[in-house]
Structure 1
Amino acid sequence: MKENFVYGMEQLVREIGVIERKYDFISIGTIGHSVQGRPIPYLKIGEGPFRWHFNGACHANEWITSLLLMRFVEDYGEAYVKGLPFWGKSVHDLFSRCSLWVVPMLNPDGVELVRQGPNPNDLYARELMQWNRNSKRFHRWKANARGVDLNDQFPAFWEEERSRRAIGGPGARDYGGPSPLSEPESAAIAEFTERNEFDAVIALHTQGEEIYWNYREAEPAESRIWAGRMAEASGYRPVYLEGSDAGYKDWFIHRYGRPGFTVEAGWGHNPLPMDGFDELYDDVARLLAEALDCSPS
């Protein structure tokens, strides 16, 4: 694998096509489109009544989370077809207890910026260069194509987070936009969540090997227990987090009072390198499988 490899839209679309051809029980669709018109795909697997949602690549230079989620879905499908144990769980039991919707790449424009920088024909191409300090290297870029940090976009004390960040305009990270859900990507995932009425969600980020499970005491009692189970499965640390608002899991907990988690996968500096992917995936897959197993019988 090349040192500068980035898992982008081309790879994602190709792998979704492979999964669609191999597994007729995995549904494929789109939740909406990005600023630059790229589709934001989802995959759905399972038939159970408990409704889980996982998403990744909300932050552009955390693109490795897309690859982690795609590998997880593919392994889940293969285990189901072959009747194999799935990370120590009964795959058919998980399949019958819960349905899982995965949005592997919430921020496709941002990922493509990390991969290759702005295309001269793209919307905001000139502005993007200015927002990136006129550097062609976008390896530190977390935002979308309008320089908005999607994980500071949700209507859960958004004003407080914007004041805390004190970022006045577009840039590589931490600008919450002109208003909550102003960006098509954040609006799409919020609408997708409301339409499907998920029972629990995980937003996969990097890095830190931590699990954030609470939000302003709005989380249900089982959130702490589930975070402990996921931590034991993965070796990650459950963290009671304060002083952070406007994220996806914050909004989910605040709106629904249901279990929501942000998982900070891996350790190091973003973007995480591919040379540790197998070990990273082993931890994350165990954590995600344990999350599915938390679904009530």
Structure 2
Amino acid sequence: MLQYVTHKGDTVSRIAAAYGLTPEHVIQGNPWVVKQAYLHPGQIIYLPSAPRSRYALQAGDNAEKVSALFNICVEELEKLNPGILSGHFHPGKVVVIPTPKPNRVVVLRGEYGPTHVEEDIAALLDKYPFLEKDTIGCSVMGKPLYLIKIGRGARHLHVNAALHANEWLTSPCLMSFIEEYAAAYAGGGLWNGHHVQDWFNNWTLWAIPMANPDGVELVQEGAGPDHLYLNDLLKWNGGRRGYRHWKANIRGVDLGDQFPAHWEEEAARRGVTGPAPRDYSGHAPLCEPEAAALAALAERIPGDAAVSLHSQGGEIYWNYRGYEPQESAELAARLASACGYRAVELTGSDAGFKDWFIQQFRKPGFTVELGMGKNPLPLADFEDMALETGLIIGALLSIVKVK
């Protein structure tokens, strides 16, 4: 078995992905990892060699058919099976199938964290120069809050993801949609029946793919002995070293309760008076840099609509204390219909980004609860959730016309 020494940022899922294994393979060789909240740099992991995929040729097979079946190129098939291009195709003969290379930028290689956002944005900008990148500020620990802009339309749509730390799977969902949108625009084609040229010409999309990078990193990697907030985090977390349930930012403030929309009532309703894994509204609205940066962007570029991506529940919230415009209910119903979710009229909740956006601008705002289950949602849910994200945003870009 291969001996691997762990580094900062390693997780079981990330190690498994790097070596063509499943997390179960890693756990099987190292059963102690399930008793430990997180891996620590310097630990020894034993990895089995990844068995290659094999295929028994069927009648009528040829190199092109096999390559198409497994989404690989003929040249890679030939490398592992010399002579296969010469027509040595006999039914029952076993051939080795190479691992297909991803044909896209945004893919999951374990948990999707701040480093992946940065790397994928750089790769997307290199591939699609019409995309624009900026930052709207920094997190508490100095991580950039990246902004991606696509489109040149007169109307503006704000979308953010991963405001809650353990809802980080929303981040690659948004990034995946941006990549598919960009690819369809560059190729002059459709995206799931939508005319992306119209999106691009009518709308400008302002996307914040990871609004809470410190919290996301905490959920995924824990807090090591050199973490700046280690002692505080342990205290706020009740002495627990596992943070997979953590929703707040690194200072224990729930960014979903940080916006000046009846903030005082929300803080009183929550009843959490100090830093905690969730539901602490902070000492004042917008006291945290991540929330303040989102609000400042919306103030600087007033939007015609906004979407905040959360998980989970398969629901879309669209109203806020009667401040929402008349068309919001119909829009929410159409967005829900596009992806099979439910449009829900929500009461008894304040101080969210959607709440503030509706109150501040009297424009349609939506909180989308992607997926179903318990946060953090499993990596296996990514593809379905990414498609649902795109269907929701795409439906909104197609429904609301330029005035």
Q: Where on the TM-score scale, by shorter chain, does this alignment land: which range?
A: over 0.9
CA contact (8 A) 1:6 1:114 kept: no
Match of 2:207 in 1: 102
The CA deviation at 1:115 is 1.1
Q: Larger deviation: 283-292 or 253-262?
A: 283-292
AA aligned opposite 1:75: E
Q: Residues 60 and 142 of structure 1 are in contact (CA less than 8 Å); yes or no, is this contact kept in structure 2? A: yes
Aligned to 1:286: 391
- Contact 1:157–1:246 at 8 Å: present in 2 too? yes
- Whole-angstrom distance in 2 between the partners of 1:84 and 1:135: 50
2:379 matched to which residue of 1? 274
SS in 1 for 2:194: coil
Corresponding position of 2:181: 76
- The gaps in structure 1 that reach 5 residues or longer are none
Please report how far the alpha carbon of residue 123 of structure 1 lies from its aligned counterpart in structure 2 after TM superposition: 2.9
- Residue by residue over 1:36-67, the C-alpha shift from the partner in whole angstroms, topping out at 9 and shown as x without a partner, is 01100010001111100110000000000100
In the other structure, the counterpart of 2:47 is none
Q: Tell me by how many angstroms 1:206 deviates.
A: 0.1
Aligned length: 297
**Residue 210 of structure 1 corresponds to which residue in structure 2?**
315
Residue matched to 1:57: 162
Cα distance in 1, alignment partners of residues 182 and 128 from structure 2: 7
- Give yes or no for the alignment of 1:247 onto 2:352: yes
TM-score, normalisation: structure 1: 0.97
Asked whether 1:222 is paired with 2:331, we answer no
* 1:46 alignment partner in structure 2: 151
Aligned counterpart, 2:363 = 258
CA separation in 2, counterparts of 1:69 and 1:106?
Answer: 12
- 1:28 paired with 2:138, answer no
Task: Report 1 or 2 for greater relative contact order, CA contacts < 8 Å, sequence distance ≥ 6.
Answer: 1
- Measured in 1, the distance between the counterparts of 2:169 and 2:312 equals 11
**TM-score when scaled to structure 2?**
0.72
Alignment of 1:159-198 (within 5 A): 159-198=264-303
Is contact 2:162-2:209 (8 Å) kept?
A: yes
Counterpart secondary structure, 2:330: helix
Kindly report the root-mean-square deviation, in angstroms, between the aligned alpha carbons of the 2 structures.
1.2
Answer whether contact 2:174 2:386 (CA < 8 A) is retained: no
Give the match's secondary structure for 2:226: coil
5+ residue gaps, structure 2, are 1-16, 24-37, 39-109
The alpha carbon displacement at 1:281 in A equals 1.8
Q: Which one of 17, 42, 51 corresponds to residue 122 of structure 2?
A: 17
The residue identity in structure 2 corresponding to 1:105 is: M
Percentage of pairs with the same residue: 48
